[in-house]
């Protein structure tokens, strides 16, 4: 089931809030783990800081941060593990606020595209003015056409594989179509709350960096329908920014005993300052500050 | 109540039987006493325990639909914003849905000409329409589902001019082709097709595959001309409308067995266009012809060939907004006094 798994964050400060959305394994939990480590370790500059260790669901935060430090993959958020994580934060300007993360299972978000329904508990978190939308930079379901494939097969002189016809289901829709629809729903009743700020986080940016493009250019090339919609379809009162985020830094070790240790993970573990694994790209600017998108959303 | 004088109660083990009240056996046994359930105590069966977790439905909130719009919803869109309505006319399998899906599929990659994608409230309908032309369907060749009989529904696309950023809406009316073809025998049927009166561009399709077939090509001419004539006869077209005559499946025409067959099909299409112009040029603001290949089969051509030009035509400023010059209708006043003209203005009132 092509379900949305959403880790929903709500930041409440000066009546501002943030909701975090994304497809399964789009990097939300890794982001949260890296963010918690970065805030606790205080080794790199950041626009937001955590003055206290106190946090809601602190054991969970510490567990995922521990996995992140060890260079191990995060477990997928499952439906029976709904929880709300909260943390106290200070901005550089001295504003204090509480960051809350109602961590919602993906099936609830699958309803939005597939069943045209949204759970009441999810609705309450979607009234946030700031939206952080995660998209895995290299795990994108793209549409493929029979006509294009047939033409390619003809040129290469190979025969196309044949099989049983598969009827349409909403889950077959390309990633960009599902995301466009999600954004459209956020602009229509009952989810419309007026103007919002939208930060697109292209996660696993280290895998996309080789294309030598800015996050915005990468989005235009790999998700062109979404890119057109962001520039021409979003309500004029919405503001939008695209970030490339590498919270993990490299391919991590798997959980299985038979899994070979990852060379990338070893390299990451060898770094003296783990927070330096993190890279956040905003246009031409590069930093280790994972709080930058949150800060922009709250500004 | 005197219980001592009361009749002895009759019991039956069948809970549906009312023999105690009306003396009749529910099983239909004439002598109830001979029924195997008669006189036996009622069997009390413990009710099955409901599993609340299975019964309970999650309290969900309905979100906007993503299916094709019914007429009422399309009317709301029309009132809400600048909108171009496109009517697509042609027999079954002439490629109506392919044209609609073809534009949507091209937008997946890039803006189409000067138009960028700016949204849609019918994404499920679009995705369903194009599914059989995608590899996810596992089909050998692109295919389009037959449009079900019934009222027209509308596919909705918001488009934005890439330079001026002016937002426009396109509504594509989708109705089964046979309904339109039936107007050839009964033009009054067209009165029930409101999309004909409302559309800014009437798009009539000529099936390229049929033009290749010597036994069918003349029928294509008939279908095009007679259908437009039926719409005119029933007064369902408007002079401010544009008419697009579209040769679909140009890829198949080019892929014909020999060059002569291809040329004959193309010449026949030109004849269709010429006939339409000769007969209907006074009835429409403009008539243009197009050759497209929305979803070529067998690797015979580029997907979306000719669609950019067609979209630009569809999205032109609607003719209903353009000024029209009406000749003044001067009627002579009924009374002689009213017909008097001043002498200095040429009146000869002698």
3-state SS class at B61: strand
Domain-located, residue A57: yes
Q: Which chain A residues touch B119 with a CB distance below 8 Å?
A: 180, 184, 229, 233
B135 touches chain A (CB under 8 A): yes
Q: Which distant-in-sequence residues (6+ apart) come within 8 Å of B345 by Cβ?
A: none
| Phi–psi pair at B338, nearest 5 degrees | -70, -20
Q: How many Cα atoms sit within 13 Å of B115 on the Cβ side?
A: 25
Q: Is residue A284 situated within a structural domain?
A: yes
**What percent of chain A is predicted at pLDDT more than 70?**
86
Cβ contact B227:B221 at 8 Å: no
> Are the beta carbons of B152 and B71 closer than 8 angstroms?
yes
pLDDT band at A94 (very low <50, low <70, confident <90, very high): confident
The number of domains in chain A is: 1
pLDDT digits (tens, 9 = 90+) for B299-322: 666 789 999 999 999 999 998 887
Q: Among all residues of chain B, which has the CA nearest to that of A227?
A: B117
A207-240: pLDDT as tens digits? 998 888 999 999 999 999 999 999 999 999 999 9
Percentage above 90 pLDDT, chain B? 61
Lowest mean pLDDT among A14-28, A75-89, A135-149: A75-89
Task: With respect to residue A8, please indicate whether it lies within any of the assigned structural domains.
Answer: no
Q: Mean pLDDT of all residues in chain B?
A: 86
Chain A closest CA to B158's CA: distance in Å?
A: 8
CA distance A151 to chain B (A): 4
> How is residue A128 written in tokens?
């946030």
| Complex ipTM tops 0.90 | no
Q: What is the mean pLDDT of residues A69-83?
A: 72
Which stretch of DSSP H or E encloses residue B87? strand B83-89
The pLDDT, as a whole number, for residue B153 is 96
Q: Check pLDDT > 70 for residue A83.
A: no
Model confidence at A285: pLDDT above 60: yes
Residue A6 is assigned to a structural domain of this protein:
no
Residue of higher predicted confidence among B167 and B58? B167
Per the model's pLDDT, the better-predicted residue between B194 and A50 turns out to be B194
Instruction: State mean pLDDT over B165-173.
Output: 93
What does DSSP assign to residue A123?
H
With respect to residue A3, please indicate whether it lies within any of the assigned structural domains. Answer: no
Comparing A267-281, B28-42, B106-120, B193-207, the range with the smallest average pLDDT is B28-42
Angle between helices A224-232 and A215-222 (to 10 degrees): 120
> What does the mean pLDDT of chain A come to?
84
Whether residue B1 has pLDDT greater than 60: no
Give a yes or no: residue A233 inside a domain: yes
Partner-chain contact A165 B107, CB within 8 Å: no
Taking CB atoms and an 8 Å limit, are B123 and A112 in contact across chains?
no
Q: Would you call B60 and A111 a contact, using CB atoms and an 8 Å cutoff?
A: yes
| Residue range of the domain that includes A188 | 13-298
* Residue A93 to residues A37, A89, A96, Cα–Cα distance (Å): 22, 12, 9
The average pLDDT across A142-152 equals: 86
Q: Do B107 and A153 touch (CB under 8 A)?
A: no
Distance from CA of A107 to the nearest CA of B (A): 12
Residue A37: CATH number of its domain: 3.40.50.300
**Mean pLDDT on A75-88:** 68
* pLDDT number for residue B4: 43
Interface with A, mutate which of B53, B134, B159, B301 (most A CBs under 10 A): B134
CB contact (8 A) between residue A152 and residue B295: no
Query: CA–CA separation, B177 vs B184, rounded Å?
Result: 12
Q: Is residue A200 part of a domain?
A: yes
Q: What is the pLDDT of residues B210-259, one digit of tens each?
A: 999 999 999 999 999 999 999 999 999 999 999 999 999 999 998 888 89
For testing the chain A interface, which of B61, B73, B255 should be mutated: the one with the most A CBs within 10 Å?
A: B61
HSE, side-chain direction, 13 A CA sphere, residue A210: 4
Is the residue at A1 inside a domain? no
Nearest Cβ partner of B127 from A154, A155, A173?
A173
* Predicted TM-score of the model (pTM): 0.83
Residues of A in contact with B138 (CB under 8 A): 162-166
Confidence grade of residue B350 (pLDDT, cut at 50, 70, 90): low
Please tell me the predicted confidence (pLDDT) of residue A296: 93
Q: What residues form DSSP beta bridges with A202?
A: A135, A244
């Amino acid at each position: 089931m092509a379900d949305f798994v959403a880790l929903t964050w709500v930041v409440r400060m000066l009546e501002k809030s943030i909701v975090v959305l994304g497809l399964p394994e789009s990097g939300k939990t890794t982001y949260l783990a890296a963010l918690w480590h970065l805030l606790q370790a205080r080794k790199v500059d950041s626009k937001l800081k955590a003055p206290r260790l106190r946090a809601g669901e602190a054991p969970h935060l510490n567990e995922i941060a521990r996995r992140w430090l060890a260079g191990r993959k995060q477990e997928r958020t499952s439906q029976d593990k709904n929880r709300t994580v909260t943390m106290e934060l200070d901005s550089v300007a001295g504003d204090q606020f509480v960051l809350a993360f109602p961590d919602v299972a993906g099936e609830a978000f699958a309803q939005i595209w597939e069943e045209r329904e949204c759970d009441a508990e999810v609705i309450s978190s979607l009234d946030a003015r700031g939206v952080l939308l995660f998209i895995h930079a290299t795990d994108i379901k793209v549409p493929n056409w029979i006509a294009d494939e047939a033409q390619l097969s003809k040129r290469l002189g190979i025969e196309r594989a044949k099989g049983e016809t598969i009827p349409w289901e909403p889950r077959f829709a390309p990633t960009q179509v599902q995301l466009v629809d999600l954004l459209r729903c956020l602009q229509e009743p009952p989810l419309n709350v007026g103007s919002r700020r939208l930060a697109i986080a292209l996660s696993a940016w280290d895998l996309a960096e080789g294309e030598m493009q800015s996050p915005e250019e990468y989005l235009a090339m790999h998700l062109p329908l979404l890119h057109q919609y962001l520039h021409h379809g979003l309500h004029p009162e919405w503001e939008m920014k695209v970030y490339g985020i590498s919270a993990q830094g490299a391919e991590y070790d798997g959980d299985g005993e038979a899994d070979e240790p990852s060379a990338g993970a070893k390299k990451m573990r060898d770094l003296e300052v783990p927070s330096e694994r993190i890279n956040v790209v905003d246009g031409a600017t590069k930093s280790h500050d994972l709080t930058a998108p949150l800060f922009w959303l709250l500004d | 109540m005197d219980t001592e004088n009361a009749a002895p109660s009759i019991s039956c083990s069948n809970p549906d039987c009312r023999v105690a009240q009306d003396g009749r056996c529910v099983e239909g046994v004439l002598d109830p006493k001979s029924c195997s359930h008669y006189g036996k105590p009622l069997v009390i069966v413990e009710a099955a325990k409901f599993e609340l977790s299975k019964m309970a439905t999650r309290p969900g909130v309905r979100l906007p639909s993503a299916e094709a719009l019914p007429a009422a919803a399309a009317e709301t869109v029309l009132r809400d914003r600048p909108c171009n309505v496109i009517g697509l006319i042609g027999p079954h399998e002439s490629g109506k849905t392919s044209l609609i899906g073809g534009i949507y599929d091209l937008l997946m990659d890039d803006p189409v000409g000067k138009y960028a994608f700016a949204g849609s409230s019918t994404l499920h309908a679009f995705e369903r329409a194009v599914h059989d032309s995608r590899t996810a369907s596992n089909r050998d060749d692109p295919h389009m589902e037959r449009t079900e009989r019934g009222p027209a529904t509308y596919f909705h696309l918001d488009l934005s001019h890439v330079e001026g950023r002016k937002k426009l809406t396109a509504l594509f009316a989708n109705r089964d082709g046979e309904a339109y073809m039936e107007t050839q025998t009964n033009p009054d049927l067209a009165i029930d097709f409101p999309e004909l009166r409302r559309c800014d561009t009437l798009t009539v399709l000529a099936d390229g595959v049929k033009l290749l077939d010597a036994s069918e090509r003349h029928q294509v001419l008939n279908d095009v001309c007679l259908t437009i004539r039926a719409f005119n006869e029933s007064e369902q077209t408007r002079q401010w409308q544009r008419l697009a005559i579209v040769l679909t499946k140009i890829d198949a025409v080019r892929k014909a067995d020999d060059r002569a067959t291809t040329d004959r099909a193309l010449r026949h299409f030109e004849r269709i266009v010429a006939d339409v112009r000769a007969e209907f040029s006074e009835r429409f603001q403009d008539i243009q012809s197009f050759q497209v290949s929305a979803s070529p089969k067998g690797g015979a051509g580029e997907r979306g060939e000719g669609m950019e030009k067609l979209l630009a035509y569809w999205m032109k400023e609607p003719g209903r907004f353009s000024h029209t010059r009406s000749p003044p209708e001067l009627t002579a006043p009924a009374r002689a006094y009213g017909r008097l003209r001043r002498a200095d203005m040429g009146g000869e009132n002698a």
